[in-house]
Amino acid sequence: MAQVQQFTYGAFNPIAACLVAFLGSFLGLLATGRARAAHSRGRRTRWLVIGAFSIGGAGLWLMHFVAMLGFDVPASPVRYDAFLTLVSLLFAILSAGLGLQVVGHGRRSRSKTAFAGMLTGVGLLAMHYTGMAAMRLQGTLHFRPWLVAVSAVVAIGAATIALWFAVTVRGWAQIAGASAVLSLAFCGMHYLGMAAMDVELSANVRASVGGIRPLVMIVPITVISAATILGVALSALQAMTEEEFTDGATRPRGGVHTTASAGRRRPGRRPSPRPVPQPAADDDLQIASRS
């Protein structure tokens, strides 16, 4: 088996990966908090989609490849397949989105959270091992089954905890604490999955290995991350603006609704006109006698 290095740049990669996971989890939990406060299903779904891009795209996928930049096999060049790398991104976002949609609608229950955590955990494993399958080197990857099983348990547990936090935590302090727990869980699952892998060098040494260099991947990862974060931020701002305008238009001010429909009279509530006073019969007789 070839020698494998997980920390080529020292502590930089694991620290950077944990910070990225923390930021993605923090933004995602903020979005799911807004989803819980939404007054319509459409708004709730929109905030949950934003949370899926934050947790799945930044908290999981970006964390994975920031940590992978520290992976190296000294006896062989390491490259990455662009297509499988993008497929792993789709797995991360779709699995997080599916879990959030399950727990974000309807009544909250432990069984529903556990079921959604299993779905998201399987997607998290698919993201991780698809990202590892995207590696190209002069050798064959082998996995230790018992460590793969342990990483699967950790992945499902981390996903369940993430979804439970998504429907329970409130306030900046709780969200920050939950994000710290999630970042450690995500990074722990990643390095546990990496520890399950061994590299067997090929007998036929090739001159080159096809794919993208790890350091070159920083450019597309940075572009995709910037575009994702910008899109999430703009979508969140737009959603907040629309909610404030809509809620402000329907909020009663001084007991009077300010919506356009408020000026319309509802059936059954039409005010009756004031009765016109009629002269009494005695007054009519007195007027007639005088004339």
At 236 the pLDDT is 64
At 69 the pLDDT is 85
At 290 the pLDDT is 54
Among 117-121, 130-134, 144-148, 210-214, the minimum mean pLDDT is found in 210-214
Domain contains 291: no
At 115 the pLDDT is 92
Percent of the chain with pLDDT over 70: 74
Q: Is the pLDDT of residue 17 over 50?
A: yes
Dist. CA 49–CA 43, nearest whole Å: 10
Q: Is the pLDDT of residue 267 over 70?
A: no
Q: Is the pLDDT of residue 56 over 50?
A: yes
At 263 the pLDDT is 42
Contact 105, 38 (CB under 8 A): no
Dist. CA 170–CA 178, nearest whole Å: 10
Domain contains 217: yes
Domain contains 216: yes
Domain contains 275: no
Q: Can you read off the two tokens belonging to residue 165?
A: 């936090």
Most confident of 119-128, 131-140, 281-290: 119-128
At 239 the pLDDT is 64
At 204 the pLDDT is 67
Q: Can you read off the two tokens belonging to residue 209?
A: 């290995």
Domain contains 236: yes
At 255 the pLDDT is 45
Q: What is the DSSP letter of 120?
A: H
Q: How far is CA 281 from the centre of its chain?
A: 80
Domain contains 276: no
Cα-based angle 33, 38, 40 (whole degrees, multiple of 5): 150
- Helix/strand/coil for 201: strand
Q: How many domains does the chain have?
A: 1
Confidence grade of residue 136 (pLDDT, cut at 50, 70, 90):
confident
Confidence grade of residue 243 (pLDDT, cut at 50, 70, 90):
low
Domain contains 128: yes
Look at the chain and count its residues: 291
Cα-based angle 164, 168, 169 (whole degrees, multiple of 5): 110
Please provide the average confidence, as pLDDT, over all residues in the chain: 78
Q: Domain limits at 130?
A: 12-202+209-247
CB atoms within 10 A of CB 286: 10
